């Protein structure tokens, strides 16, 4: 496998590999392994709709034009 990286990243890689006394290849392998392990254990994204889906649309009796009628916003934001 061959990858292309910016020169600044190459310099950081060289510096860290010298500090850790390991090859650049080993450092990249370890970093990639840590990155992949973190991604597998990450909590999957759950939207607010997914969490409260059973509540969406369960109320009745409110105004049907709440999101479109500017009258419902009169006084909104005033102290």
Q: How many Å apart are CA 59 and CA 50, to the nearest integer? A: 17
For Cα atoms 19, 23, 27, give the angle at the middle one, nearest 5 degrees.
75
Distance CA 12, CA 18 (A): 10
Answer with the residue of higher pLDDT: 71 or 22.
22
Segment 11-62, tens digit of pLDDT: 999 999 999 999 999 999 999 998 888 876 667 788 888 888 888 777 788 8
Q: Is the pLDDT of residue 5 over 70?
A: yes
The DSSP result for 10-69, as a single string, is HHHHHHHHHHHTS-HHHHHHHHHHHHHHHHHHSPPP--HHHHHTTTTT---SS-TTTTT-
Q: Is the pLDDT of residue 1 over 90?
A: no
């Amino acid at each position: 496998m061959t990858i292309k990286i910016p020169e600044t990243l190459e310099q950081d890689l060289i510096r860290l590999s010298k500090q850790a006394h390991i090859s650049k290849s080993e450092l990249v392998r370890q970093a990639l392994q840590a990155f992949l392990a973190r991604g597998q254990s990450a909590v999957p994204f759950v939207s607010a709709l997914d969490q409260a889906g059973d509540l969406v649309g369960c109320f009745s009796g409110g105004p049907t034009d709440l999101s479109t009628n500017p009258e419902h916003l009169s006084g909104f934001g005033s102290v």
